Every structure is written in structure tokens, then in C-alpha cells.
Structure 1
């Protein structure tokens, strides 16, 4: 272990020390309160791992406001207690049954490398993702049904359509979890689907009535 772990890079250490000396010091009582009282987030956000998707900045959220789970392509697997996707499922279970969040938001985005990888996988252009040893390939297979749904879309727009389909499929899979379904049915929680155009800074919301994304 000692041969592989190294001290934090200097630039990150400097950033931390800057944060500690300014943001933390100016808000010390707030951080102490968060530590003492625990977290009570209003919403869970399921977003992509992509470093360009800055969830708290988009919504101007403070510490303690969002319970955030990230994975490749912001996917939610279907409910399957005997399956292999327990990381995301466990986060959802904790958010809904323990934290009692009022909202679960699935946030997709433009230029998603995971979605592009799924498109390549489904078109036979990514043999490395077809290998059973590929964790990424196995994960992206969750989106394969979405690829079938966007075949009518012009080829130049197909990947973008698939990015949005990733949000829709995740919403559909969310409702297969009994505790999610029960919370929604009781009116204690609502589900939301969003897609962020990174370059334009816009948010598009899925409308279940029209089944299309509408810009906010």
C-alpha cells in the first residue's frame, strides 16, 4: 500500500487551505450545525460523473441541500435485489427510505461520453466495451433499450436523443423500486428528469404528458 499512495498534489492542498481560511472560517457555525444535526437534504440528484456537470453550481445549492449520486451516464438500473448494480440502488434506497427526500432528480447532459460509448457499443464500434471484463460496457448495457428507441432520429442528432433517453429510462427504472413507487403514490416524493446543455447553459425538463423535453 505504501508504494502506491502519495500525498495530495500541491495545487489541491493549496486550494483546500484557501477554502479552509475563507469559506469555512466565514461560515464556521453553519458547518458545525451541519456536523451536529446531520443531513436533511431536500432532494436527491442522480447525475453523470462528468467533471463539467457541477450540480450545486447549476442550482446555487448550499451544503446539506442535495444528496448527490454520480455514475457514468446518470443511469438508474431496474429494481433487482439479486443484481450487480447495488451502488446506485443503495444510494436511492438510502435517500428515499432514510433521508426521506422530497424529490429525486435525474440530470443528463450534452456531450456525454458514457452515452456516446453506449451508441458505439450498440453499433458494434466499441469491441472493448463488449468484453465481459469491461465494467463500463456492462453498465452501459442498461441504456441499450434507449438506443432502440432513437432509431427514427436523424443520425446527426441520435446521440443527443440518446442522452435524453438515458434520463427517461432512468425515470422508468426508478419507479420499479417498491419504496420509490410507494413514496410517489403517497405524494411524499416526486420524480424529475432534466437535461443540461453544457455549452448553452440551458436546462431542459422532461414533460411526461408530451414525452418531450422542454427548455426551462
Structure 2
């Protein structure tokens, strides 16, 4: 088996330490940009749900402004977003290239997408349950967290799975332009260096990360629905 692998993936064997490092970098980018962007996204989603028309804290101006901002950010292709926020990236990270610098555009790119996913998940909650909570005098905070979030938890986890998988794709794109990770390995060494086996293995590892993410989220869904 090893001889067969060595025959078809010779460069992968030579670069095995680089693969380990790149995988760790991809996980690093996904975790921290997902954590920060996720918190921002959840906050935005809760505000959108609370301030929508007939919402528990209806504020049409606030809802309209935030929704338009999210739509605009979601509409910008990630590669263009990387270029547009170079000054902000340099201000925050002190540089526009490298692992830590990538967290800025990844977070900004992820947050509005995640916000919309979580908003849709929260809106799946039966309005009858919300009205029942209002009728017994529950406060807006109680309704948001004990009704919307609690009842919508399975949908929130499903939305998180989709969002994290999308984020892994963004890290590969960021890596392709110098941020490190498996994207950098696949493009700069695999594609540009004419080492097809490196590109194939990088893609395979990214797919493994995607499958692991989906598997964990499926387990969480089963846990919260039993």
C-alpha cells in the first residue's frame, strides 16, 4: 500500500510536514474567523428577528439599515472583498498577508452570510409559540433566547454546518493568495508547481474537514432533538 501511495503521490510524501502545517493553518483560520464572525452573525441575526415588522422589538429603520448592510456585504465576491478591505486588514493585523491577516477578511466575509443563515433558522420557529410566550408576559430577552434560540436550535445547528463548510472554502481561497493553509498548498505548490498529487491531496484533506464538520453537526442535531 505504501509503495502504491509513493508511486502516485511522491511529492505528498516529500511535503508531509508541510501538509500537517497547512492543515493546522486551515483549522486555525476556520476556528477563529468562525468564532468571531459567528458571534457577530448571531448578534446581527437576533437584531434582525427582533426588529422586523411585527417583531418583539419592531424597529423598521434599524431592520432596514442592517438588512441592507448584510445584503451588500454578502453580494461582494470574496476575492474582491480581500482587495477592498486591505487598509482595514493592515490597520488591524499590521500586514495584509499571512495567517493572522487572513482572519480580518474571513471574519467580515463570514459574518453576514452566517447572520442570514441564523436569521432564517430563527424564523422557522412557530409564531404560535412566540405569541404564547408574549401572552404569559415573557420579556423580549426571554422570548429571544428561551423561545427563538431554544426552539430553533436544530435549525441553527444545520445553518452552522452550512456556514462552516462555506467558511472552509473561503479559507482555501484566502490561502491561494498568500494566507497559508491548504489553499496555498494546492495552488502555489500543486497547481503552479505542476505537482498534481499535491493539489489532489490538499483537496482531499479539505473534503475530509468538510465531512467531519457535517458529521459533528449531525451528531449535535440528534442530541438536541432527543
Q: TM-score range by the shorter chain?
A: 0.3 to 0.5
Kindly indicate which of the two structures has a greater share of residues assigned to strand: 1
TM-score of the superposed pair, with normalisation by structure 1 = 0.33
Kindly indicate which of the two structures has a greater share of residues assigned to helix: 2
Query: For the pair shown, which has the larger CA radius of gyration, 1 or 2?
Result: 2
